[in-house]
Amino acid sequence: MYNTSFGKIGVICGGLSSEREVSLKSGHAIAHALLNEGFDVEEIDLKTEEEGEVVAVLRKAAIAVAFVAMHGRFGEDGRLQAILEEMELPYVGSDSLASAFAMNKIISKTIFGEYGIPTPRFWTMTPSDATEAAIRALPLPFVVKPCSQGSSIGISLVKSFGQAGQAFNAAFYYNNNIIIEEYIDGRELTVGILDNQALEPIEIVSKNQFFDFEAKYSTGKTEYVLPASLAPDIRKRVQTLAFRAHRALGCRHFSRVDILLDKENNPYVLEVNTIPGFTSTSLLPKAAQYAGISFSGLCCKLLELAAGSSISSVTP
């Protein structure tokens, strides 16, 4: 017998972005966990970004609550959330406006500045701006990023101007607006946020020059240290900063905040991920597990937050 607390749950995953395969893995893990908890669950592999078609797919599925597990474009940029809001379907995760703010690195870093949240210095460019003179005016080393991509896609570390052309081309492939960020040599940390609580920081120790796509998804390329080896006052500072960034963008339910800690233990927020990886080995679930929350318990907790009520026991 299904747990009928919320009706049918639709786990929306897949999509058409460069993060499709990662999203499918997240969606499958979430659906599997909720099925094991007795819920009526359907995995919805969304293969369209056209609003009318999305509405038709969701109406056909006849879901009562959506668990959004789509990483990257359309899933994290607020467009899917706006459709769910128009349909008056409750869903897990940040609303359309906060999602759009977090996905756009220029907007999010501007908001961080308005709230006094430290973030690395940055510059923005379009293809017409990226002249040789403009590029050579940038202080080396620097990081080049597409404005609106996740999973470190299209990101390059530039240590010499000879590397700049390839780096800029890689970023412009994904967005016409790119961000050039001051490189800060330090420790990479990530902090999960769950229901207005900052979880234990995780240190990311990559064998690559930085935590790029290969490091994230290739076996043996990265070590994750949980809990991160931090003095108590530094740990508290990092957690507080992560929560401030989450709140500044208007996020809700959960997120994962990426932070750099420089050699003097000064933390800088890089970005807020509103739909981070969601398998049993992903970083937010790892931090939740450390706090005593199982993967299935985490999924159930997020359903509660989306629906605004507690989960009842499975009906006999």
pLDDT in tens, the chain (316 residues): 456 677 999 999 999 988 899 999 999 999 999 999 999 999 999 999 999 999 999 999 999 999 999 998 999 999 999 999 999 999 999 999 999 999 999 999 999 999 999 999 999 999 999 999 999 999 999 999 999 876 567 899 999 999 999 999 999 998 899 999 999 999 999 999 999 999 999 999 977 555 444 444 445 568 999 999 999 999 999 999 999 999 999 999 999 999 999 999 999 999 999 999 998 789 999 999 999 999 999 999 999 999 885 554 333 2
Query: Which residue among 154, 183, 271, 282 is the active-site one?
Result: 271
Residue of 151, 156, 175, 282 with catalytic role:
151
Does residue 300 lie within any of the structural domains? no
For this structure, is 50 an active site residue? no
Single-letter amino acid code for the residue at 183:
Y
250: annotated active-site residue: no
Position 11 scores a pLDDT of 98
Catalytic residue among 5, 17, 19, 99: 19
Q: Is 258 one of the catalytic residues?
A: yes
Tell me the pTM: 0.90
Does 45 lie in the same domain as 107?
Answer: no
Q: Quick one: pLDDT at residue 309?
A: 56
Residue 75: CB atoms within 10 Å:
31
User: CA-to-CA distance for 160 and 81, rounded, in angstroms?
Assistant: 41
Q: What is the CATH number of the domain that holds 70?
A: 3.40.50.20
Same domain as 111, residue 230:
yes
Q: Is 7 a catalytic residue?
A: no
Strand duo 91-92 + 142-146: pairing: unpaired
Gap between the Cα atoms of 18 and 266, Å rounded: 33
256 is known as an active-site residue: yes
**pLDDT at position 280:** 75
* HEC string for 84-136: HHHCCCCEECCCHHHHHHHHCHHHHHHHHHHCCCCCCCEEEECCCCCCHHHHH
Residues 245 and 112 in one domain: yes
Residues 108 and 189 in one domain: yes
Same domain, residue pair 150 and 258: no
Residue 282 lies in a domain: no
238 & 255 share domain: yes
**Does 19 participate in catalysis according to the annotation?**
yes
Residue with tokens 């398998």: 279
Counting the structural domains of the chain, the total is: 3
pLDDT of residue 4: 67
Same domain, 66 and 206: no
- Could you tell me the residue range of the domain that residue 139 belongs to? 122-182
Would you call 114 a catalytic residue per the annotation?
A: no
